[in-house]
Amino acid sequence: MVAPHVVATDLQLALNQRQAHIGMRAQESDGDEGVLQASANQDVVEGLAQKGGRGIHVAAVVVRQASCVGRGPVILDRMRIVPVPCFTDNYAYLVFDELSAEGFVIDPSEAEPVVAALKLHHVRLVAILNTHHHHDHVGGNQELLRRFGDLPVFAHRSDVGRVPGLSRPVDEAESFDVAGLRVCPRHVPGHTLGAVAYVVNGAAFTGDTLFVAGCGRLFEGTAAQMHASLNGTLAQLPGETRIFPGHEYTVSNLRFAAHVEPENMRARDKLSWATATRERGEPTVPSTVGDERAVNPFLRCGSPTVRSRFQGATDVDVFAALRRAKDVFR
For 219-249, what is each residue's pLDDT tens digit?
999 999 999 999 999 999 999 999 999 999 9
What single DSSP character describes residue 53? S
Let me know: does 131 contact 106? Beta carbons within 8 Å: yes
Task: Using pLDDT thresholds of 50, 70 and 90, give the confidence band for residue 19.
Answer: very low
Return the pLDDT at 174: 87
Residues in the chain, total: 330
pLDDT at 177 over 90: yes
% of the chain exceeding 70 in pLDDT: 77
Q: What is the pLDDT of residues 63-96, one digit of tens each?
A: 322 222 233 233 546 899 999 999 999 999 999 9
Q: What is the pLDDT of residues 257-298, one digit of tens each?
A: 999 999 999 999 999 999 999 999 999 999 999 999 999 999
Let me know: does 76 contact 55? Beta carbons within 8 Å: yes
Rounded to whole angstroms, the Cα distance separating 104 from 216 reads 24
Return the pLDDT at 75: 52
Q: Which of 111, 114, 93, 117 is nearest to 38 (CA)?
A: 111
Task: Using pLDDT thresholds of 50, 70 and 90, give the confidence band for residue 41.
Answer: very low
Q: Where are the chain's structural domains?
A: 43-328
Q: What is the pLDDT of residues 150-173, one digit of tens each?
A: 999 999 999 999 999 999 999 887
Reported as type and span, the H/E element at residue 308 is none
Return the pLDDT at 80: 93
The stretch 122-131 carries a mean pLDDT of 97
Let me know: does 159 contact 133? Beta carbons within 8 Å: yes
pLDDT at 9 over 70: no
On average, the pLDDT of the chain sits at 82
Ranges 26-35, 125-134, 242-251, 312-321: which has the least confidence: 26-35
pLDDT at 33 over 50: no
pLDDT at 42 over 60: no
Rounded to whole angstroms, the Cα distance separating 69 from 17 reads 15
Q: Which of 108, 111, 106, 128 is nearest to 49 (CA)?
A: 106
The stretch 114-143 carries a mean pLDDT of 97
CATH for the 43-328 domain, from 3.30.450.40, 3.60.15.10, 3.40.50.720, 3.40.630.30? 3.60.15.10
Task: Using pLDDT thresholds of 50, 70 and 90, give the confidence band for residue 217.
Answer: very high
Q: Terminus-to-terminus CA distance in the chain, angstroms?
A: 25
pLDDT at 180 over 80: yes
Residues involved in catalysis: 132, 134, 136-137, 191, 208, 247
